[in-house]
Amino acid sequence: MAKALMIQGTSSNAGKSLLVTALCRIYMKRGYKVAPFKSQNMSLNSYTTKENGEMAVAQYLQSLAAKIEPEIDMNPILLKPKGEFISQVIIQGKVVDDMDFYTYQHDFKQEAIRVMHESYERISKKYDIIFIEGAGSPSEINMREEDIANMEVAHMADCNVVLVADIDRGGVFAAIAGTFALLDERDHARLKAVIINKFSGNLDILIPGIEKLEKIIKAPVLGVIPFDKSLKLPEEDSQSLADHKFLEKDNSKKDIIIAVIKLPKIANFTDIDPFEAEEDVGIKMVSVYDMPSELDNVDMIIIPGTRTSTADAKALIDSGLADKIIEKSKQIPVIGICGGYQILGQELVDENMKESHLKHVPGLGLLDIKTEYKNNIKAACQTKLHVPENKDLCGLAKIIFKNLYNEQLTGYEQHEGTSTIINSSINTTNPLFIVEEGVGNNFNTKFDGACGESNVFGTYVHGIFHNYTLRKSLLNYIRANKGLKLDEGTRDPYQDSLDNALEQLAQLIEDNVDMDYIDKLIFGEDYEYTTASK
């Protein structure tokens, strides 16, 4: 069985995910077979594995850091909030049902515990070290009996726990001391050390407080991690998105500005990450609560995925932002991904109210497609597809994809609705891609997405912009129109930047954390690290 160490936090977004990511990379480079594990994750950002199952994007990133294939057992329980205290429950990669908090905690808890143990046992037999990530805080004493994400996991894995705290939000010493104080004796025994995250300023000023804290909690602070805002890694959820570098004003100085519509239930916004690696591209997040004029000086609009397409389509229309997007579509590219693609269509029909309480919602009417939510089948798969002959495309897609005929593209799908091209007299609308492996628009065809006789197209495939040739062709179209230098490269800057960021993160942790102490927490007090491989 694998050795294990668990990282818990004083709160959400304290740095648990990134610390586990760094440890996965550090110990992988030392020659160990390493894997991440998070029993239960609540996130709208997810990834589809080769097993055609969903897992949280945080554990996907951690598996990349460890240089292993992502597996659903690394995140056996995924909860996707739908609103009104209801979440879609995904167990070992597959959708089980929509549940409210009470039903999940009281009627489903034993099944959740069973799969947690089952998944952990499977991966612990395959790897040398498991780095486990907690959720929220272990000191939520009102919910201790319902806990299956923090101390119960540590007891299951029989491992030590390191607590990470975010100093940037203030009250860090109280948060740490309070966490130690609120744990009962059995849980407290697991908590061995602390790491302070996101520090900016003079460390000498902090040291007296650390010395007093260590006497209070009777545990060491293993390091203070500087707040490195230059790190560019995929975000786990919309809470972390709120502080994302997308919002930095420097992006307005870029040659190309891409507006990303921040829908109320935005999901899988990691689709946008590859654009950050482009030196001349800036991202501007535009919310349904912003003024439509925020879209005045942008070069492209992307409507990303959403957990509730029908409700978000209505929010977009009610806000007045939809009218602005329609206006801008006559001048610049407007692209929809998954839920965003559905919103671009003529109508969304949900008679059984699977998405929200709305049965019928008009779309933006920019593509002649109709989306329906008819059954309980969810498309969750990795996808291979290719660009059709140019004569089978129309509008802007015909220009952008003219040199990509038969180009194989990859990505993944996660959608419950299916879409049909209805080809009314308003527009000619053609499929965007031919599906080799996957679902695409629906289970009965081998086509994905749609393009119209305008600047608008959309696809169900997440990760489509991770395909460098497609992204380069799209951006070069904008560059050419603005008289900018074209990208003539052959190597994807995003892939390089992602691995560089993982290396940068790992180095940041090694430089600022007592790794000898971490070694002993994993392997035992008598452990001595002597070689870079086992």
Pairwise CA distance, residues 83 & 81, whole Å: 6
Phi/psi of residue 9, each to 5°? -130, 160
Q: Which of 148, 52, 75, 136 has its CA nearest to residue 108?
A: 148
**Beta-carbon contacts of residue 174 (< 8 Å; ≥ 6 apart):** none
Instruction: Count Cα atoms within 13 angstroms, Cβ side, for 508.
Output: 25
In single-letter form, the type of residue at position 261 comes to I
Kindly list the catalytic residues.
338, 462
Alpha helices in 125-161 (DSSP H): 151-157
Which residues lie across from 42 on neighbouring strands? 79
DSSP letters along 409-423, please? EEEEEEES-EEEE--
| Joined tokens for residue 282 | 């800036």
Q: Are strands 347-349 and 360-362 parallel, antiparallel or unpaired?
A: antiparallel
Q: Which of 467, 306, 304, 326 has its CA nearest to residue 400?
A: 467
* Helix, strand and coil percent figures for the chain, each rounded to 5: 35, 25, 35
Q: Which of 345, 375, 338, 378 has its CA nearest to residue 361?
A: 345
Give the three-class secondary structure for 406.
Answer: coil
Tell me the C-alpha to C-alpha distance, in Å, between residue 233 and each of 165, 273, 274, 446, 497: 20, 8, 10, 33, 9
**Phi-psi category of 310—alpha, beta or left, where left has phi over 0 and alpha has psi -120 to 50?**
alpha
Tell me the C-alpha to C-alpha distance, in Å, between residue 94 and each of 55, 168, 366, 383: 9, 37, 33, 17
Cα dihedral 207→212→216→221 (10° resolution): 10
| Joined tokens for residue 33 | 């077979």
